[in-house]
Amino acid sequence: GAGVSQSPSNKVTEKGKDVELRCDPISGHTALYWYRQSLGQGLEFLIYFQGNSAPDKSGLPSDRFSAERTGGSVSTLTIQRTQQEDSAVYLCASSLRRGGNGYTFGSGTRLTVV
């Protein structure tokens, strides 16, 4: 696609429920990144995918968070048993290669846990 697409744009969920956030990167971009942006904070790295290599999950805050990338394209970030502190904007970005000259970000998913 022309840009990085994320869905849903907004998600309200009850505490304890599972949620799935989707990211569709730019076609041909081999690198994909998830970041979390909490209120009043900068962006926190979560996970990185590069081609078919094993992802770097070092930024995931707990084992309730997981992500996968199917066919080297679309990625899904799953949060199980959501907590109120998970409320944030989740941003996805992609680039042509590892690191790249800059990332192209999507518009994010605003997750609110009530």
Partner 1 sequence: AQTVTQSQPEMSVQEAETVTLSCTYDTSESDYYLFWYKQPPSRQMILVIRQEAYKQQNATENRFSVNFQKAAKSFSLKISDSQLGDAAMYFCAYRSAGLSSGAGSYQLTFGKGTKLSVIP
Applying CB under 8 A, which residues contact partner 1?
A: 31, 33, 35, 40-43, 45, 48, 50, 56, 59, 89, 91, 93, 98-108, 110
Helix (H) or strand (E) holding 104: strand 104-105
Residue 38 backbone phi and psi in degrees, to 5: -90, 160
The minimum distance between CB 108 and partner 1, in angstroms, equals: 4
Cβ closest to partner 1, residue 28 vs residue 54:
54
SS3 36: strand
Smallest distance, Å, CB 56 to partner 1? 7
CB of 109 to partner 1, least distance (A): 9
**Tokens (6 digits) for 29:** 């971009």
Report in angstroms how near the CB of residue 37 gets to partner 1 at its nearest.
8
The span from the CA of 93 to the CA of 51, in Å, is: 14
Of 18 and 85, which CB lies nearer to partner 1 in the complex structure? 85
**CA distances (Å), origin 64, targets 61, 78, 82, 84:** 8, 8, 8, 13
CB nearer to partner 1: give 65 or 103: 103
